[in-house]
Chain A
Amino acid sequence: MILALSIGVLVAGAVFLMMSRSFIRVVLGFVLLSHAANLLLFSTGGTSRRAEPLGKSLDPVLTADPLPQAFVLTAIVISFAITIYLLSLAITGGRDEDDEDGDDA
């Protein structure tokens, strides 16, 4: 339940930030959104089993599902890289906020 609520709060914050005109806020919104997606991925393996999936004699009832953890790790790396790129775009464009609609300027 806590997990579902946190995902909901993160998505709400992300949507709020993305709606704003400032590009930096949009980037921060994406940081929140990727956190929400990662938490959701995490929860897909089930949250009740938490033992580490390492070693020889594993009990499937206790051991956590390693696959979603691998997914999350991959997703974190990707979203981290894109966030850096977005931040560099945010500083290269100069005065950005108000002239977005001048398409062919």
Chain B
Amino acid sequence: MTGALLPLFVAIPLTAAGITAFARPGRRWPLTVLLAVLAVHVAASALLLGATRDGEVYADGVGGWVPGIAIPFAADALSALMLTFTGALSLVCCWYAIASGVGRVRLFSPLVLAMIAGVNGALLTADAFNLFVFIEVMLMPSYGLLILARRGQGTERSVRGSRLYVTFNLFVSTLFLVGVGLVYATAGTVNLGLLAGAAKEDGRVAAAAAVALAALAMKAALVPTYGWLTRAYPSTSPAITALFSGLHTKVAVYAIYRLYAVIFDGDERWLLIGLVVCGVTVAVGAIASVGEQSMRSMLSFSMVSHLGYILVGVALFTPAGLAAGIFYLLHHMVVKAAQFLSAGAIEDTYGTDRIDRLRGIGRREPLVAATFAIAALSLAGLPPFSGFVAKLVLVIASIDAGQVLLAVVLIAASLITLLAMLRVWNAVFMSPVPEGESSTRRIPWSLAAPGAILAVVTIVLGLGAQLLIPLTEVAAEGLLDTTTYVEEVLR
């Protein structure tokens, strides 16, 4: 494995997107291409994970220019972990999308492939401006996916959600671009290798990079800018919500981890801001999720809360905190998608996801009910699921760092999450089947299986946490000590 292969993570999906865009309507081969590319992606990132598991870093400067000007790609354990999980998750979500019919809309395959190219680029790049470009490459197809529907079946609701989503993301991207511009003005470079520790030494660079970080925090839906997520995500089709929940905000979270570790070198002076913002996000998201009337809105608010949990890791910036945050990030990608997919299977079959209109699902759909229950308990942090391990290591890390108040907030919020989940569980799943309703509608297994697979993954991650924790510890080491990363990028 050499670094020179890294750009292929972007090049292959992008080429495939270009080819599949020319497919005639109704043809099935673009879906085959999509699934094949994703399968290769998962295999390649698993190999990359194997190659980086002892802390090695692979890098490549595209174009053969001198270090600092070339287009740098770099992969360490954190990028490899993220690549593996995003790839596997996209594969499962695409399966669901194809089964639910969204995947058969004409431009689905090229849009998803282009988005994957953007995600991979953002996870691998070692240059702040390229990060902006790759985030745009990721966002552009997602604007299309958001309103993707069969001819004549598009809804005004999805257009409205899309308007909010596009305008907000455009604003945030512009802010990020301004931040990158200011970093260039103050530091004279946007290469992460050359920027290493620059913000710790020079307050002007810190102020400039803070603009970029603020933009990423908005993209990661932290308080006070979380309203876009909770309004846009429920407005699109369930398959797309699940796909976005695993990719978009998580790329922003990854970028915050990377930029704070490299540019700020984990500067302790600003960590308190992160702790306060994350703590408030955790609390606000959890409380707001209790009062929602539809399943996907409830899940979106709960997602805001968990994004707060994930970023507590970087706000602590201790070895245990970072490893816990990364574990939480991976756990959350799997579990949230499992939940969105099980809620989506119900919505796609029964035509609504409003909590007050669904009754007796638990008796009719045991597999979907089990998936939802496992994911809900995992999110709330009960053993033996991965959420328990994730919350446990995070709470221990925050107590070790002396943040007892934060630990209290984290535990209280998970109880509130449990409350919100139980409310949905009692109303939708455990209630008796309404009398006189002789509906023969059943969720087909092809819609139930993708979520169920992810539910199995959360059990495996919970019982076999010892397999993943060493990897997250290596990834955290790479963030604490960026010397190897910087050396490889500048080689």
Contact = CB atoms under 8 A, between A and B. Distances in A.
Say whether A associates with B. yes
Interface of A: 18, 23, 26, 30, 33-34, 37, 40-41, 43-45, 67-68, 71, 74-75, 78-79, 81-82, 85-86, 89, 92-94, 96, 100, 103-105
Interface string B16-46: 0000000000000000000000000000000
9 contacts: A30-B167, A33-B171, A40-B182, A68-B181, A68-B184, A71-B129, A71-B180, A78-B136, A82-B166
A85 B181 contact: no
Contacts of A105: 157
Given A40-B181, A93-B156, A100-B160, A82 B170 contact: yes
Nearest to A85: B143
A89 B170 CA distance: 14
Contacts of A43: 185
Given A89-B163, A104-B293, A67 B140 contact: no
Interface in B175-219: 177-178, 180-182, 184-185
A41 B181 contact: yes
Interface residues of B, number: 30
A105 B154 CA distance: 15
Contacts of A78: 133, 136, 173
B359 interface: no
Interface string B155-174: 01101101100110011011
B177 A41 contact: yes
Interface in B112-168: 129, 133, 136, 140, 143, 147, 154, 156-157, 159-160, 162-163, 166-167
B178 A92 contact: no
Given A41-B181, A44-B182, A68-B184, A89 B159 contact: yes
B248 interface: no
B231 interface: yes
A68 B129 CA distance: 10
B294 interface: yes
B140 A82 contact: yes
A92 B180 CA distance: 34
A45 B163 CA distance: 34
Given A33-B174, A74-B133, A93 B163 contact: yes
A15 B86 CA distance: 36
B182 A85 contact: no
Contacts of A86: 166-167, 170
A26 B177 CA distance: 19
Given A89-B166, A104-B294, A34 B174 contact: yes
Could you say which of A68, A82, A105 has the most chain B C-beta atoms within 10 Å of its C-beta? A82
A22 B160 CA distance: 13
A96 B159 CA distance: 10
A81 B177 CA distance: 16
A41 B143 CA distance: 25
Given A18-B171, A26-B167, A104-B294, 14 more contacts: A33-B174, A37-B177, A37-B181, A44-B181, A44-B182, A71-B129, A71-B180, A75-B177, A78-B136, A79-B170, A79-B174, A89-B162, A92-B159, A94-B156
Nearest to B163: A89
Nearest to A94: B156
Given A71-B129, A89-B162, A89-B166, A103 B231 contact: yes
Contact of B171 (A23, A30, A68, A93): A30
Contacts of B133: 74, 78
A94 B157 CA distance: 11
A96 B162 CA distance: 12
A74 B140 CA distance: 14
A82 B162 CA distance: 13
A78 B180 CA distance: 15
Interface string B291-303: 0011000000000
Contacts of B143: 82, 85
